[in-house]
Every structure is written in C-alpha cells, then in structure tokens.
Amino acid sequence: MKPAKLVLESGDVFEGTSFGYDSDAEGEVVFNTAYTGYQEILTDPSYAGQIVVMAYPLIGNYGTNPEDMESQRVWAAGFVVKEHSEIASNFTARQSLDEFLKMHKVPGISSIDTRRLVRLLREKGAQRGIITTAEQSKEHLVARARSLPEMVGLDLASSVSTKQSYEYAPPENAQYRVVAFDYGIKRNILNLLNRSGCKVTVVPANTPAEDVLAMRPDGIFLSNGPGDPEPLGYAIETIQKLANPKFAKREIPIFGICLGHQLLALAFGAETYKLKFGHHGSNHPVKNLITGQIEITAQNHGFAVRLKSMPKHLELTHLNLYDQTVEGFRHKKLPVFSVQYHPEASPGPHDSHYLFAQFIALMENYRD
C-alpha cells in the first residue's frame, strides 16, 4: 500500500493510504451517509464524475458479489473511506472491495479522517478534488483540482446511457409495456418493474419521442442519472412531446425519478438549481403530503427543483424534512408524477415501493 492524498479545490489536503487501482482520480467530492450498500453506490451511474466519501467508518467488511451490481461497471471516479477492511467475511462475497476496485480500475484512499472531511463538505459545499499517489506539490495539486470542470452545465447522462435499445428480461406474465429512458438507470429499477408485470424496453437518453410512440407503450419511465439536468435540452423536448396529449394522441402515464424527476419539472416550466452538498444516503426522511406518512428514503442527487418556480398545474406531493426541498410532484390533470429520491432503494429502505404500484394503476386506467 502506498501513501496517498485527497486534495480539494479549497486547498485542504487529507493524507492516507492507497487501495484499489493505483491511479489518479478526479471529480466532484461528495459524501454518502449510508451504513451499507457500498457496492450499489459504486455501480450507480448517477455517481459518474464524482469521488464518493463514505461517512460510515468501516467499509468493505462484507466484500462484493455479482448480484449487488446496479450496472455493468463502477461509475464513481474514486472512493474515500476511513477504514478499509481487507477481510471480506460474507457467504455471498466473491471479491474483496480492494480486488473489486482494482478490477474496475478505480482508485481508493483510506485511513483519513472522514468525519472532518464530511464536516468540511457540509460547510464549504461539494468540492472538486483529486486522489493521487504522485509526489507533487500541494500548490500544483490544488491548481489541478481547480481546473476540473464544475458539475453545473455538464451533460453526463449521455455518457452513461445505453447506446442501443434493449429488452430487459421480460417476465412471462408481462401485462404492461414500459419504455424506460436510460439517463443512468439502475438494475433494481428494472427488476421492480419486471416484478410488477412490465415488459421493459430500455432506450438511449436521446431517443426521439416519435420512436417511443411507435412502440405503443402503456407507460414511460424516466430514470435516474448524473449531472446537471438543464443541459439536457434533447431530453426535455422529448418529454414535452410525450406528455402532450395532442402530440402523443393520447394520455400516457409517465413516472420519473431523480434526474428524470428534474427533467420532468423542467419540461413543465419549473426551474432546477444545484444543492450545496447534495443528498446522498439511505436515511433521508420525506413526508408524503397526500397521505401524511413519513418515508425513509435512499437519495443520490446534487440538483433539485426550485419550489417557488413550480407552475400551478403541478402539485407538490413529497417534501424533504431535512431542508424542505421538493421530493415529488404530480400533474393536476395528466397521469404524470415523479419523485426526487430512489424508490427502488437497493439495498434499502423499501418504504417507497408503493410508487411502482401507483405507476401500474395509472397504466391500467389509461390503457388503449
């Protein structure tokens, strides 16, 4: 193991030990407050372009396995932990975390004060940063960090999206045809749609509305994904067409999550903005304003919908109890709804699975 550094654009430097792949990592440094699920976090395409800091101190003790992959690869640019467990003790484990990161060519750094780092990110906001084992001056490394592109204005969805449409393991009892836009879709979303009786066709982020309508879908799903939603003009225009009954010649249920939620809001005239340090974890309380119930949710996003910008035809349905940000809305007339958080929540919590049943009910009511 080599000495390594995490250098932030703020000028702060954290010295630790390298593990995983021996290379430099560059990206926006964000923290995640989940206790478990590090493999799901690493393979979530929404983390493209980001270095992930785990707030929970001991990471890697149950190893990694093929079943917990949320995509085909690791998308996080780098991984930061306080204590990296070299021992993987679990009956499902096939690789240690160190072996897993080496295989996917992703560097990590351990033995740093992640508590101090998380407090810094909360106070100063998400930071551009670099993980490196190179012997370079602090001034040089800070300058490198400051030269990295900011997350605002980046279209990362097009870089993580599938390049070809495909059918996702259609179930034998499929009753509904769903077209899912892949802005960085997670595997468990597709699994839950399948279990709900949906035959899912996953399409690239830039698929035209006309091509989607030609598939005669019962419903349209807008997935999670990385980066800033505003540069995705092609996606916003497509959503506007699909949500317009005059263009689509019928009303089609649309369900969006995370980036899909933000794109849906933009398509209806709302605004989005970058959060100071984002929401990343599996323990965020959200209030369902329709039922009054509190859900513990999984979240991973750096942008949010501006509440005051929401037009009158959109109804706020979910509210974040940490900072009162928009967590969900529905259209007052059309069969369209979305949430900011991750209802598929692999590995958990599962408080929000009811949203998939809500989507199914809409498709049943609006079928041709």
Catalytic residues: 258, 342, 344
Q: How many C-alpha atoms does 272 have within 13 Å on its Cβ side?
A: 28
- What dihedral do alpha carbons 262, 181, 225, 227 form, nearest 10°? -70
Sequence-ordered list of residues with C-beta below 8 angstroms from that of 333, at least 6 positions apart, any chain: 313
Amino acid identity for residue 87 in this structure: I
Separation between Cα atoms, residue 263 and residue 164, nearest integer Å: 21
Distance between CA atoms of 224 and 151, rounded to whole angstroms? Answer: 16
Strand pairing report for 166-168 and 198-204 = antiparallel
Rounded Cα distance between 358 and 28, Å, is 35
Instruction: Region of 169 please: left (phi>0), alpha (psi -120 to 50) or beta.
Output: left
The 8-class DSSP code of residue 122 comes to H
Q: What is the rounded distance in angstroms from the CA atom of residue 251 to the CA atom of residue 126?
A: 40
DSSP assignment of 47-116, as one string? GBTEEEEESSSEE-TT-B-GGG-SSSS--BSEEE-SEE-S----TT-SB-HHHHHHHTT-EEEESS-HHH
**Alpha helix stretches (DSSP H) within the chain:** 38-42, 97-103, 114-124, 138-147, 157-160, 187-195, 209-214, 233-242, 245-248, 259-267, 354-365
Structure tokens at 243: 């949500």
Phi, psi angle pair for 204, to nearest 5°: -60, 155
